[in-house]
Amino acid sequence: MQVAQSLTRVTASATDTALVKAAAKFPTAVWLDRIAAIDGAKSTGGAMGLVDHLDAAVAQQKAQSGSTLKPMTIQLVVYDLPDRDCAALASNGELSSANDGMTKYKTLYIDRIAEILARPAYAGLRIVAVIEPDSFPNMLTNVGIGKTVCDSVNSKGVYVQGIQYTLNKLSTLKNVYMYLDIAHSGWLGWDNNRAKAIDGFKTLVKGATPSGNLGIIRGFASNTANYTPLDEPYFDGTDNNVKSGGTTEFYEWNRMIDELSYTDKLRSEFVAAGFPDTLSFIIDTSRNGWGSPKRPTGPAADVDDMRIDRRAARGNWCNVKDTGIGERPRANPDATRTHLDAFVFVKPPGASDGTSDSTATTPNAEGKRFDAMCGSGNVDALSGAPHAGQWFHDQFLMLLRNASPAIK
């Protein structure tokens, strides 16, 4: 529906029209980012609900399979924790732990999702569930540094209790493959942050079921809604490239310079910590192609002149300029990495990261408001952006035009 709206705005450009039509075929995840998203509003011309999406997937599966059903995957994002995204403002969500949010999360949100997914009509689908982007990594890395909301959810166990409840409920469904969000290399890539993540996620998963089975999750999802490249092709993460005070301040001694090196490292460290060797990863490539005219074409003396990630700072996450769609969604994309299940579009290209309107300081009905990272003070942020999750036509066209590989 949103892509169709953009199509009506690009009739003057044959090239843009072709790009938008191609984008309409990209598989993207269904974001269940509030309780109302479960039902949707299809009957009144609004968004499809969970049942609508699952029914459409079953219909597509039958239409493509003939007499024998072929595998069909549908991606969901479970994203409505109380006090969500404790260190940010753009998408804090609708539920508050201080206002019975955990009870609502369990009974009105997770229980309903689990009941729907368990229906026999959907038993033939492969349901990929990305669990709670950003929140747990937010808490792990922002406790004790003055982020009062993160300190509060940590002390009260809000995120741990909510995610463990979700893992426990969905682990009983054999056709649901759970991937916990593991942020991205620019966030948890440092040795100390990765160590926190390994310990924190192990405790989290182990406590989700009475048996303490670490194999209840399929693995982890990285780069959700972010812009970090799959690969920096012209240099590696050796000290001469990432040191502070040298050729660049961009990496600040973070040797995980891209998502492939990050997921490779995480996989080996998680397995060493006791996770099964079947542990796998998916990487969101919806906005990490970096195919703009500013993209470097070869090695250079200065790292800043050869990194394809063109952000002024690696932590800039909101509606980033000069970005483009990355590798297209596909399963088993790298024969040398059997732990890499797929490239996926978790964040639909064109969905805003947050509003650039600095006056929108009061949370809207979905708990979303202005975050300074989305405003004029961030040189990487596009202007004219709507609230997080809403359609951002100008960003959508930018991503299509700057796609790498190019859209054909």
Q: Which domains does the chain have, with CATH numbers?
A: 2-401 (3.20.20.40)
- Summarize pLDDT for 122-157 with one digit per residue, the tens: 999 999 999 999 999 989 999 999 989 899 999 999
- Mapping DSSP to helix (H, G, I), strand (E, B) and coil, where does residue 212 land? coil
How confident is residue 247, by pLDDT bands cut at 50, 70 and 90? low
Instruction: Check: CB of residue 106 under 8 Å from CB of residue 156.
Output: no
Place of tokens 């890395």: 141
Kindly tell me if the per-residue pLDDT of 208 is higher than 90.
yes
Q: Which two tokens stand for residue 97?
A: 């732990």
Mean pLDDT for 41-48 is: 89
Percent pLDDT > 90 in the chain is 85
Q: Residue 170, CB half-sphere, CA atoms under 13 Å: how many?
A: 32
Mean of pLDDT values over 68-86: 93
Given 83, 85, 134, 181, which residue is catalytic? 134
One-letter identity of residue 186? G
Q: How confident is the model over 298-337, as pLDDT tens digits?
A: 999 989 999 999 999 999 999 999 999 999 999 999 999 9
**Stretch (H or E) spanning 120:** none
Mean pLDDT of 28-32: 97
- Cα separation values, 88 from 7, 302, 315, 327, Å: 32, 33, 12, 28
Q: Which of 2-16, 131-145, 178-192, 326-340 is least confident?
A: 2-16
Q: Dump pLDDT digits (tens) for 367-404.
A: 889 999 999 999 999 999 999 999 999 999 999 999 99
Which positions ≥6 away from 145 have C-beta within 8 Å?
none
353 is catalytic: yes
d(CA 83, CA 79): 11
| Spatial distance between the Cα atoms of 57 and 139, rounded to a whole number of angstroms | 35
pLDDT class for 31, splitting at 50, 70, 90?
very high
Calpha distance 318→226 (Å, rounded): 9
* pLDDT tens for each residue of 14-27: 899 999 999 999 99
Token pair for residue 16?
């843009």
Tokens standing for residue 337 = 């990495």
* pTM assigned to the model: 0.96
**Catalytic annotation, pick one of 80, 83, 309, 353:** 353
Omega prior to 233 cis, within 30 of 0: no
**pLDDT band of 245, cuts 50, 70, 90:** low
